[in-house]
Amino acid sequence: MVSRVIPVDPFDLVIFGGTGDLARRKILPGLFRRFTAGQMPGDARVIGAARSELDDDGFRKMISDAISEFIPKDERDPKDVKAFLEHLHYVAIDARGTDGWNALGKLMRKDVVHAFYFSVSPNLFGDLAERLHEHKIIGADCRIVVEKPFGRDLASARSLNDTLAKHFNEDQIYRIDHYLGKETVQNLMAVRFGNILFEPLWNAQYIDHVQITVAETVGVGGRGEYYDKSGAMRDMVQNHLMQLLCLTAMEPPAKFDPDAVRDEKLKVIRALDPVPHDDIVRGQYGGADGQPSYKEDAENSSSTTESFIAMKIHIANWRWNGTPFYLRTGKRMRNQVSEIAVRFKEPPHSIFDEDAGTNANELTIRLQPNEGMDLRVTIKEPGPGGMRLIEVPLDMTFADALEQNGSDVPDAYERLIMDVIRGNQTLFMRGDEVEAAWAWTDPLIESWKERGDKPKPYDPGTAGPEDALMLLHRDGRRWREIKP
């Protein structure tokens, strides 16, 4: 099945930080794929803006190399690459000075959508906004896109929001959390609100608990300096896992529109109870088989930053009272798994003999890899010998069910950039949402700092520290296995 492509309006997209890692790895390869899918209008322009003294040709060469590096060979026809590169332009610009701004102003066309992607360090956001304003490059139909991390605590997030608000309205600001662009994350909303089947059971009366896991096999090597100041809480929980939690727990919005969806997510964040320190386990990977430990990767031998975190969260509202949400995420774990597992309660009364066994249903939404859904149901074990119950999976891998191949499914960045051009903010974080997430996160971080808490060591290639297992064991539950 080939996905339906709806072309977007003509645009000029300026990427500040156009020669940086994100632009080369994700943004421009993503745009190339939208181009080959036929979604980019013929006169669309992508303008790289950065400090390096390049011209259009130099930038095109750089992006041609990036496409060769990040797009598989069978998905890049040289003719397409050549045609795509013609859409690219470059302006050498000084975010804090005057160089390049007049040239950028002249390049921008009237009557097309203007989008400015701030793929730069957040401490330049204010300068960029100011220069765009000074040089009158901001038109009415303009949007800005900002990347995570959006602040490192409530105070810095507020100050960033205030800085941007000087020149842009909230409906012009697109704060990216790339998890929201993932196909299966959106599927979570489709599954919950597009079916009658799940919603009546989607509450504390029928759901025993929810597990959200984002496990990665990679370490932090290469970005240790950033990561050591963030840790798993700031890098993953405050944003990506929080978004997954919100989409799982929120009330049905009245419409699938930006504010209706974001209002409901915000209510979930505001209903989160503070987490007692006994309900948080932080871990840090050691080294093994010649692979560096976290401390070596971070080049900080006394680091107390967590590369793993597990926590038990309560949402204090009518729907979820008594149903814990267990979250865990970590680096250098046994396997790459991102999933949301909803464990239902057992039936209230069994009509079968005690030795028939009992099972609880479980719905798992696999975000990656192998995107799909798995519903565990109870059936009779086939064969003679009376009624014995077993659990079987109703397992669906989306790619098989929809006869898709990987290239039909847009990557998160592709979708999100096209949403920016379309002016659809549903999959972007609103300012108050980000602030509420920090308001919940800050006291947890402060509390472990005050206590001088040190993360528990764990072996790479495992499911994290032992204490994380205990977090569920002591409640009579167990984590889903992270299979090798």
Which positions are annotated as active-site residues?
240
Q: Which two tokens stand for residue 377?
A: 């149901």
Nearer to ligand BG6, 143 or 148 (CB): 148
Look up tokens 């009546």; give the residue.
200
Rounded to the nearest 10 degrees, what angle do helices 125-134 and 154-165 cross at? 10
The reply to whether omega before 369 is within 30° of 0 (cis) is: yes
Q: Does 362 bind ligand BG6 (CB under 6 A)?
A: no
Write down the least CB distance from residue 5 to ligand BG6, Å: 23
Write down the least CB distance from residue 386 to ligand BG6, Å: 46
Nearer to ligand BG6, 303 or 338 (CB): 338
Q: Give the binding-site size for ligand BG6 (rule: CB under 6 A).
A: 5
Closest residue to ligand BG6 using C-beta atoms: 235
In the shown chain, the binding pattern of residues 168 to 207 toward ligand BG6, with x for contact by CB under 6 A and - for none, equals ----------x-----------------------------
Tell me the C-alpha distance between 410 and 201, whole Å: 32
Write down the least CB distance from residue 11 to ligand BG6, Å: 25
Q: What is the DSSP letter of 275?
A: P
Write down the least CB distance from residue 151 to ligand BG6, Å: 14
In the shown chain, the binding pattern of residues 302 to 341 toward ligand BG6, with x for contact by CB under 6 A and - for none, equals ------------------------------------x---
* E-assigned strand segments in 331-397: 337-344, 362-368, 372-380, 389-397
* E-assigned strand segments in 69-165: 88-92, 113-118, 142-146
In the shown chain, the binding pattern of residues 129 to 168 toward ligand BG6, with x for contact by CB under 6 A and - for none, equals -------------------x--------------------
Write down the least CB distance from residue 152 to ligand BG6, Å: 13
Residue 111's alpha-carbon distances to 48, 62, 87, 210, in angstroms, are: 20, 29, 17, 48
State which of positions 101-120 bind ligand BG6 (CB under 6 A): none
Among 12, 235, 297, 433, binds ligand BG6 (CB under 6 A): 235
Tell me the C-alpha distance between 334 and 461, whole Å: 4
Among 147, 216, 228, 297, binds ligand BG6 (CB under 6 A): 216
Residue length of the chain: 484
Which residues have a Cβ under 8 Å from the Cβ of 197 and sit 6 or more positions away? none
Q: What is the DSSP letter of 255?
A: S
Rounded to the nearest 10 degrees, what angle do helices 28-36 and 412-422 cross at? 80
SS3 label, residue 158: helix
Write down the least CB distance from residue 338 to ligand BG6, Å: 6
State which of positions 3-62 bind ligand BG6 (CB under 6 A): none
Closest by Cα among 234, 222, 231 to 299 = 222
SS3 label, residue 337: strand
Name the residues that contact ligand BG6, by CB under 6 A.
148, 178, 216, 235, 338
